[in-house]
Amino acid sequence: MQPVHDLLLLLVVLTNFWVLGTTRLSATIRATAIQGMLLAGLPIALYPGLSLHIVGLAVGTFAVKAIFLPFLLSRAIREAAVRREIEPLIGFTPSMLLGALAVALAFSIAPQLPLPEMRSYMLVPVSLSTVVIGLLVLTTRSKAVTQVVGYLILENGIYVFGLSLVERVPFLVEIGVLLDVFVGVFIMGIVVFHINREFDSLDSARLTELRD
Amino acid sequence: MIAFPVFPIFTLLIVLGLAPVLPGIANRTKSALTGRRGAPVLQLYSDLGKLWRKGVVYSRTTTVLFRLAPVVLLATSLLAGGLLPLDGRVALLSFPGDLVAFAGLLGLGRFFLVLAAMDTGSSFEGMGASREVTFASFAEPALFLCFTVLVLATGQLQLAGMFGVPLAAAWPVAAPSLVLAAAGLFIVTLAETCRVPVDDPLTHLELTMIHEVMILDHSGPDLALILYASSVKMALFGSLIVGVLAPRAHEQRVLAFGELILGLGLVAIAIGVVESIMARLRMNRVPHLLVAASALAGLALILLLR
């Protein structure tokens, strides 16, 4: 039978596709929240035998990625009153296909990387594809909120990669990274709010009209 | 000497006889979930009987194609049914590569239906035909990707083998792939049977119809044949999903077949649930859903290939 962590990683990939495919901003935020929950479950599934390190990581991830950041983002869209991604640079269908391509490439490249023994063969390909899909969302969507979501997904990919090395990375480093993301998204939330108040729109393409 | 395939014929006849119940179950589920009483589950039988007793009206612009289409549609659906192993091990007809024949037969039926729609010369029907073909061209790659997953997981090139013993052996090793493939098949089923996220069977406005608008000019027994054929199609796709999710080759034949009937009912209920919780997608968003189905199947494929 397939181990639990492979199932979780598979669901992470599916949430990536969900973000790529949906037009509603609230749905993308919900998808990142679910992805955060899956990521919080991962360390426990990967390293059974609850050590303080692992449990701390899981609880921290859950609090930041599954509860606080989604809450912040949904507050941002409520105040800015944006609901949908209207005109992405790359359409929804092509971006879905690009995402599938990214997953295919990640799975074909990963076995050839000179990496130490992994807990799960899916860790590295899933992290690579999550990073690429995050980058795709970050660069091709026009709404600032979706770009923040893209940044979060990118960071989630890095987190998955970090999980493979969890025994060698000190706890403090991980907490530091988590804090970084938290502050980053916090600032972006404020920026998004201000952009909206100044320009009545969250379309980042219109930021080029900025003049003094 | 080849033994006369009594059991496959028997099962096929039962499935064909019960096919009109499935849309009834789906609609009844929808009614129940939206707080209405709804039409009886056996409504389609009465409709078919009524249509069968009526006369036929043919427009003067139509040719023989128009009369041929319902017959071809039904014949191809029945033949495709013959290719499916309904008890999980033996199909009426079986040869290597018959999964291509399965998709091809359904495609041929659709082709004739589209031709008949164009044959009427009505712009509405032409529009419906164009939509049907557009969406089919997205649904078919998804179907074939799902089949490819099954072929790779089981190493069998015929439907009877794919859904037989090798599938049960493949489950412990490739469960995520198979679940993804089944999800892909379910989306394809929604598209192929013209249910809600893709097409609304209850719509009354020609501009929003896809399947219904193509058959506007058919009447009487012709319409009955088409309605019956589409219910058979639902049964066929339902059997595919049940076949993937519940490998039954190790059970007794009668029991395995009983499980199929039960599974078909569950698929119909699932379709009804999807119809009540989802709004229909905008036309230009439908390909997007079907591409998602392909992406699911593609992901399943990647997981198998690693």
Residue B7 pLDDT greater than 50, yes or no: yes
Give residue-wise pLDDT tens across range A127-168.
999 999 999 998 888 777 888 888 889 888 888 888 877 777
Residue A212 pLDDT greater than 60, yes or no: no
Q: Which residue do the tokens 């181990």 mark? A: A3
Confidence of residue A198 (pLDDT cuts 50, 70, 90): low
Residue B219 pLDDT greater than 80, yes or no: yes
Residue B270 pLDDT greater than 50, yes or no: yes
Distance from CA of A104 to the nearest CA of B (A): 6
Residues from chain B contacting residue A12 (CB–CB below 8 Å): none
Q: What are phi and psi of B197, to 5 degrees?
A: -60, -20
Q: Which residue do the tokens 């000019």 mark? A: B217
The better pLDDT of the pair A212, B171 is held by B171
Q: A1, A2, A123: best mutation site toward chain B, by most B Cβ within 10 Å?
A: A2
Where does residue B204 rank: exposed (0-12), middle (13-18), buried (19+ CB within 10 A)?
Answer: exposed
Question: Is B288 in contact with A21 (Cβ distance < 8 A)?
Answer: yes
End-to-end CA distance of chain A: 63
Residue A1 pLDDT greater than 50, yes or no: no
Question: Residues A114-126: what's their mean pLDDT?
Answer: 80
Number of domains in chain A: 1
Two tokens at A32? 């990142």
pLDDT score at B1: 44
- B172, B287, B306: residue with CB nearest A93: B287
CB A88 within 8 A of CB A137: no
Beta carbon pairs, A and B, within 8 Å: 47
Residue B174 pLDDT greater than 80, yes or no: yes
The better pLDDT of the pair A61, B77 is held by B77
Question: Residues B21-27: what's their mean pLDDT?
Answer: 93
Question: Residues B59-84: what's their mean pLDDT?
Answer: 93
pLDDT score at A46: 84
Question: Is B298 in contact with A104 (Cβ distance < 8 A)?
Answer: yes
**B258 vs B256: CA distance, rounded Å:** 5
Question: Is B288 in contact with A96 (Cβ distance < 8 A)?
Answer: yes
Confidence of residue A179 (pLDDT cuts 50, 70, 90): confident
Q: Which residue of A has its CA nearest to B299?
A: A100
**B210 CB contacts (<8 Å, ≥6 apart)?**
B128, B131, B132, B135, B194, B198, B199
Residue A47 pLDDT greater than 90, yes or no: no
Question: Is A6 in contact with B299 (Cβ distance < 8 A)?
Answer: no
Confidence of residue B99 (pLDDT cuts 50, 70, 90): very high
Question: Residues A89-106: what's their mean pLDDT?
Answer: 87
pLDDT score at B196: 83
Name beta bridge partners: A198: none
CB atoms within 10 A of CB B148: 17
CB A126 within 8 A of CB A11: no
pLDDT score at B111: 95
Report yes or no on B110 lying in a domain.
yes
**A90 vs B178: CA distance, rounded Å:** 30
- A1, A97, A125: residue with CB nearest B291: A97
B226: left (phi over 0), alpha (psi -120 to 50) or beta: alpha
Q: Does A71 touch chain B (CB under 8 A)?
A: no
Residue B102 pLDDT greater than 50, yes or no: yes
pTM reported for the whole predicted model = 0.85
Range of the structural domain that residue B18 is part of: 6-305
Q: What is the CA radius of gyration of chain A?
A: 17
Range of the structural domain that residue A150 is part of: 4-209
Q: Does A118 touch chain B (CB under 8 A)?
A: no
Average pLDDT, chain B: 89
- A13, A92, A97: residue with CB nearest B299: A13
Residues from chain A contacting residue B300 (CB–CB below 8 Å): none
CB A117 within 8 A of CB A165: no
Q: What are phi and psi of B235, to 5 degrees?
A: -65, -40
Question: Is A100 in contact with B306 (Cβ distance < 8 A)?
Answer: no
Give residue-wise pLDDT tens across range B142-151.
999 999 999 9
Residues from chain A contacting residue B292 (CB–CB below 8 Å): 17, 21, 96
**B56 vs B67: CA distance, rounded Å:** 10
Question: Is B172 in contact with A1 (Cβ distance < 8 A)?
Answer: yes
Report yes or no on B1 lying in a domain.
no
Residue B2 pLDDT greater than 60, yes or no: no
Distance from CA of B219 to the nearest CA of A (A): 38
Question: Residues B109-135: what's their mean pLDDT?
Answer: 92
Q: Which of residues 153-212 of A touch B (CB under 8 A)?
A: none
Residues from chain A contacting residue B291 (CB–CB below 8 Å): 93, 96-97
Two tokens at A193? 């709010």
pLDDT score at A209: 65
Q: What is the CA radius of gyration of chain B?
A: 19
Residues from chain B contacting residue A92 (CB–CB below 8 Å): 285, 288
- B176, B287, B295: residue with CB nearest A17: B295
Average pLDDT, chain A: 81
* CA proximity to B254, closest of B88, B64, B59: B88
End-to-end CA distance of chain B: 44
pLDDT score at B251: 82
Integer CA distances (angstroms), B89 to A80, B7, B138, B146, B256, in order: 58, 11, 30, 19, 9
Which ipTM was obtained for this model? 0.72
Question: Residues B49-65: what's their mean pLDDT?
Answer: 92
Residue B3 pLDDT greater than 80, yes or no: no
Among A175-179, B197-201, B267-271, the minimum mean pLDDT is found in A175-179
**B303 vs B306: CA distance, rounded Å:** 6
Confidence of residue A72 (pLDDT cuts 50, 70, 90): confident
pLDDT score at B104: 95
Q: Does A96 touch chain B (CB under 8 A)?
A: yes
Name beta bridge partners: A24: A84
> In angstroms, how far is CA B96 from the centroid of its own chain?
22
Q: Does B279 touch chain A (CB under 8 A)?
A: no
Long-range CB contacts (< 8 A, 24+ apart) of A197-203? A202/A80, A202/A82, A202/A143, A202/A144, A202/A145, A203/A142, A203/A143
Number of domains in chain B: 1
**B56 vs B85: CA distance, rounded Å:** 36
Residues from chain B contacting residue A7 (CB–CB below 8 Å): 176
CB atoms within 10 A of CB A140: 19
